[in-house]
Structure 1
């Protein structure tokens, strides 16, 4: 009876040894290779995604810079137009002031002549 038990345990140990050998020699290397292949594929995909994101960020940065440059150019043009407009307004104001001064001068002369004319009639 002990002998049969010993043989059974020996067979169990032999089967266990064969399973361990099969695992070490065949299954484990296949798993390692599969894991290595999958990690390489995942790394390649991550690298491609990272490159795409980097290019996208560069494009966005260039677009923001371009928009900022356009905005700055428009602002400079607006300031230049405003300064030109203000100069025109000052020139027009100077013209109007000069016309007003001349008109006042003419009116003074006209009223002065009218007073002289009236003075002639009053003295009669």
Structure 2
């Protein structure tokens, strides 16, 4: 009976236990995959290394020269644009100052005209008062003269 159980166990392990077969297949697959992939990756790395060396030796220097030239052109254009902007700003400032000066001149002319009108009005007032005062003084002197003449004629 022990032999039967042992035989049944062996049969069961051969029929149902696939681990040894699967392990062998996995090892085979990994070995094949790693060898083939390692060769393919090494070829790709060599190819990539060649491309990088070519870029460093040929493309990079010519690109750097082109970039330097373009940057110097851009800097020159920026300086010219900056100079033009400064000139425009200066002209606007001068125009603004000129317009403010013109406005101040107009305001001063108006104030001067008002001042002259006020002076003329005061002159006329003073002249009127003076004329009235002269008239009153004349009247007083003429009355005093009459009084004096009367007193002299009575004496």
The two structures share one fold, judged by TM-score above 0.5: yes
Are 1:97 and 2:124 matched, yes or no? no
Output the CA distance in 1 between the equivalents of 2:153 and 2:74: 116
1:71-117 CA-partner distances (Å, limit 9, x unpaired) = 11111111111111111111111111111111111111101110111
Alignment of 1:45-64 (within 5 A): 45-64=75-94
Partner of 2:40 in structure 1?
A: none
Q: 2:99 aligns with which of 66, 69, 72?
A: 69
Are 1:88 and 2:118 matched, yes or no? yes
Output the CA distance in 2 between the equivalents of 1:77 and 1:51: 39
Alignment of 1:98-113 (within 5 A): 98-113=128-143
Output the CA distance in 2 between the equivalents of 1:68 and 1:123: 80
Gaps in structure 2 of 5+ consecutive residues: 1-56
Normalising by structure 1, report the TM-score: 0.70
Output the CA distance in 2 between the equivalents of 1:52 and 1:87: 52
The structure having more radius of gyration, on CA atoms, is: 2
Q: 2:66 aligns with which of 7, 31, 36?
A: 36
The alignment yields a C-alpha RMSD, in angstroms, of 1.9
Gaps in structure 1 of 5+ consecutive residues: 1-25
Normalising by structure 2, report the TM-score: 0.57
Partner of 1:5 in structure 2?
A: none
Are 1:117 and 2:128 matched, yes or no? no
Output the CA distance in 1 between the equivalents of 2:110 and 2:65: 66
Output the CA distance in 2 between the equivalents of 1:81 and 1:112: 46
